[in-house]
Structure 1
Amino acid sequence: MIKSKLQDVSVRAMSVGSFMVIAIPALVILICTGFLDSNNFTQPKLVDSLIYVAILGVVGTGVTIIVFNRLIQITSPVFSTSVTYLAPVVGILWGVLDGEKFGVFHLGATVVILFGVYGVNSNRRNKKGNPPT
């Protein structure tokens, strides 16, 4: 869709639009859980955690979506989906660099994720009549 129908739309506009659509249900969930009604905002650990989640959302997710949408616009969708294969690897590397443990269970979960991504992409190619690679 991005490559064929949204080629002339700014990647920032697409990203902002995506976040605006998800913001509505997110706010409803936030209000319904009573999170905003609590007096927990006086606790320093909660405030620090919320700041870090906001940074992760803006920098991590926001910038990634902008870069991914631009990648789709300037390349082919097939090439840009290869990023999906690299995401778990990059996540693992960041975790290991941060001192997190990576065991056999994590390796197995990574393999399951990569096979799932491969399965989804190979089904798309087969439905279009292209032979799987």
Structure 2
Amino acid sequence: MIEKDDFKVTTALAEHVQPYLDSLAYRIDTKEGSVVFTGDTQPCDSVIELSKDADALVCMCWDDQEVMDSTGEMQGQCGTVGAAEMAQKSGVRKLILSHVGPNLSQESVTEKAISDVGAVFDGEVVVAKELMQINI
């Protein structure tokens, strides 16, 4: 943890491809708000705990959950429903899906993803795009 007068940075291990690589999630708290960045992760308790009551969770979300389940891509990464479940359990206000794969970048798949996430997560959902600026 790093703490200064106007901000605090906290980290937690995120489950990705251990024992081959370690992945970290970061929480940044300021007077203006708090945001958590997952990095590469699958749904895990350490990221949920780090994200408790944050204003925003920027969560790795590789693809539509149904696609990932059918292709066996779930190991070490989040799909739409996994990201939504972590956001809901942690009580964040905004879920920003990031690090999306080429399939999830297609408009029709993105629309389905937002719908699927909304069925699980009560807050605002954003699918991040390159150079997008988001108010927390």
TM-score strictly above 0.5: no
TM-score calculated relative to the size of structure 1? 0.28
- Which has the larger strand fraction? 2
Structure number with greater Rg is 1
TM-score (norm 2): 0.27
Q: Larger RCO: Structure 1 or Structure 2 (Cα < 8 Å, ≥ 6 residues apart)?
A: 1
Could you say which structure has the higher helix fraction?
Answer: 1
